[in-house]
Amino acid sequence: MHTLPDTVVVASGNVGKLREIEAILGDLNIKFIPQSQLGVSEAEETGATFAENALLKATHAVAATGLAAIADDSGLIVDALGGRPGVLSARYAGPSASDAENVDKLLRELEGVEAARRGAAFHCAVCLLTPDGNAPVTASGEWRGRILTERQGDGGFGYDPVFLDIGSGRSAAQMSSAEKNERSHRGKALRKLAARLPRL
């Protein structure tokens, strides 16, 4: 990838992810198009790691559109649960589970677990792939925090209402979009990715 593509397909149906990608990579002068606008189906996430799933999703979108694609796979790793929900974060309570159902399951599993043992981290792997056969550009990021005993805030998506950012003392759902992008796993991964692109 010697030049940046003008148009990149976002290999996700998650509007929250699309907004974050556009906000963080907006100064690259790339037009981001959600794959749903092009009739691209969701890729089957069969990878054992976030990085494997990100590459699967990007590869699927490139094959379906002939355009460059960016994909991320992210999730929540909870210490007291042995790393769950991990790569199953988006479908923790079932294949078509809602964010609320996933959060409910997480809170049930952590019921009675003291604050000191509720450590967790959001992880994100991001991949930019072009149709020209060049190797994918990848990056990753982590956001350490703790799982709350109940929801706080109404912003964000996914597990944001129960993820406490230790530094600010607020949940991810109580932060502005700009503040969350500055601290988050996805923000860190996307900034690393952007920093690697000009050198290619």
List, by residue number, the catalytic residues.
73
Of 186, 149, 151, which Cα lies nearest the Cα of 73? Answer: 186
One-letter amino acid of 69: A
For residue 14, count other CB atoms closer than 10 A to its CB: 17
Beta carbons within 8 Å of 96's beta carbon, 6+ residues apart: none
- The end-to-end CA distance of the chain, in Å, is 6
One-letter amino acid of 78: V
Of 191, 187, 193, 190, which Cα lies nearest the Cα of 175? Answer: 187
What is d(CA 42, CA 13) in angstroms, rounded to the nearest whole number? 7
